[in-house]
């Protein structure tokens, strides 16, 4: 009997993944990862749940333990607090310091769930590891899940070919509704538990209060990009994203406005009143590339955000190892975002947006 170690998070997805693997005849054990320590990291102002008697991650562990006991599955527990800080959270902070838009969930998969977790599972004698991700592995290719509304292949784009070896995704062919139904059939209390949101393993936070513990916020000018007029003060460039329309706190104006750019050196936040053209680009330089298969197309589809529809793109492979991605008038492509490539339903990998361009020129107001 092959042994599978399932990453059990305390949520419904990973618990149902364990159920399905047991039904398929595997010897299943769970492993709970503790990657954030709120008692060490002074983030009480940033976490509205810490006024309870138990922090959210400990509640997740208790939920995971209860589910595993109900399913008669042994649950191991491991701390990756240092590894998460060094490889994921430090990257997150460094990107914010640069004024970019990071995706810590992608790095968590690369460095924690499919690296540290996999190594720990091998110590426990695992033939395979499994997670509750909505994705598929078929014929050596990483593919979108059947439930496209929940598909998480975007977040797996930096996982390497080697890391995907001996990995199982039991939820690849079923919907979220089916997952909750299976959990109810097995009388799991977490069947109706709300899906986790926020930063991977850290959870929901008041973003500004949370970041104040780690990055100093420096106020600066908000400038109307159309006439270079200073119209207000921002609270720190890290708190704003390209295309953002709310929370700008510019008094006395009822006009539609949105963030269009940042100047890190001068600490300026650029906004525009109604001119959406600033938000559009037609190409981008992609760096830090990872391909998880042998496909290297000249044309494919791409996503720059998780919920974005597939965008037709052309790829030009540059001599420096980066890729120039060309597309037609796409909104709010932003430095630091992940660009993930797809051939039909196959996720072939991706990289990070280094530079955003329009008409063959770098957009000066996007870093």
Active site residues: 108, 200
Q: How far apart are CA 335 and CA 258, in angstroms?
A: 17
Contact 80, 116 (CB under 8 A): yes
DSSP 309: P
Q: Please choose, from the candidates 74, 46, 58, the residue with its C-alpha nearest in 3D space to the C-alpha of residue 9.
A: 58
Q: How far apart are CA 111 and CA 76, in angstroms?
A: 20
CB atoms within 10 A of CB 59: 15
Contact 354, 267 (CB under 8 A): no
DSSP one-letter string for 140-209? TEEEE-S-TTT--GGGGTT--TTTTTTEE-TTTTS-HHHHHHHHHHTT-GGGGPPPP-SBTTTB---HHH
Whole-angstrom CA distances from 17 to 4, 35, 136, 170, 282 are 11, 21, 13, 5, 40
Entry field: residues in the chain: 367
- List of residues 6+ apart from 360 with CB closer than 8 A: 283
What backbone phi and psi angles, to 5 degrees, belong to 16?
A: -70, -35
Contact 365, 266 (CB under 8 A): no
Tokens of 70: 């109900």
DSSP one-letter string for 107-150? HHIIIIIIIIHHHHHHHTT-SEEE---SEEEETTEEEE-S-TTT
Identify the burial level of 358 via C-beta atoms within 10 angstroms of its C-beta, where 0-12 means exposed, 13-18 middle and 19 or more buried.
middle
DSSP 193: P
Query: Dihedral of the CA atoms 32, 34, 35, 36 (nearest 10)?
Result: 140
Identify the bridge partners of residue 9 per DSSP, sorted by sequence position: none
């Amino acid at each position: 009997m092959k042994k599978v170690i399932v990453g059990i998070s305390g949520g419904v997805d990973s618990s149902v993944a364990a159920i399905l693997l047991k039904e398929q005849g595997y010897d299943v054990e769970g492993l709970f990862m503790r990657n954030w320590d709120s008692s060490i990291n002074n983030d009480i102002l940033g976490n509205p749940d810490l006024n309870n008697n138990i922090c959210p991650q400990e509640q997740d562990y208790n939920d995971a333990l209860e589910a595993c006991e109900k399913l008669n599955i042994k649950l191991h527990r491991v701390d990756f607090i240092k590894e998460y800080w060094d490889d994921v959270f430090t990257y997150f902070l460094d990107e914010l310091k640069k004024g970019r838009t990071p995706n810590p969930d992608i790095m968590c998969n690369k460095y924690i769930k499919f690296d540290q977790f996999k190594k720990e599972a091998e110590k426990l004698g695992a033939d395979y590891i499994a997670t509750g991700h909505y994705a598929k592995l078929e014929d050596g290719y990483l593919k979108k899940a059947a439930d496209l509304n929940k598909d998480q292949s975007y977040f797996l784009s930096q996982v390497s070919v080697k890391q995907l070896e001996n990995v199982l995704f039991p939820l690849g062919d079923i919907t979220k509704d089916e997952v909750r139904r299976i959990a109810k059939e097995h009388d799991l209390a977490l069947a109706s538990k709300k899906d986790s949101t926020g930063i991977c393993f850290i959870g929901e936070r008041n973003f500004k209060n949370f970041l104040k513990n780690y990055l100093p916020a420096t106020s600066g000018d908000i400038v109307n990009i159309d006439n270079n007029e200073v119209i207000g003060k921002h609270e720190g460039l890290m708190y704003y994203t390209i295309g953002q329309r709310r929370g700008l706190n510019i008094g006395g104006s009822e006009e539609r406005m949105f963030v269009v750019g940042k100047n890190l050196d001068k600490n300026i936040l650029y906004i525009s009143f109604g001119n959406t053209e600033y938000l559009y680009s037609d190409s981008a330089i992609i760096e830090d590339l990872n391909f998880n298969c042998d496909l290297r197309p000249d044309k494919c589809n791409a996503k720059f955000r998780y919920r974005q529809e597939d965008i037709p793109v052309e790829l030009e492979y540059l001599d420096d190892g980066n890729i120039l991605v060309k597309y037609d008038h796409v909104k709010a492509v932003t430095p630091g975002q992940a660009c993930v490539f797809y051939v039909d339903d196959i996720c072939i990998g991706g990289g990070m947006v280094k530079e955003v361009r329009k008409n063959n020129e770098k957009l000066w107001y996007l870093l």
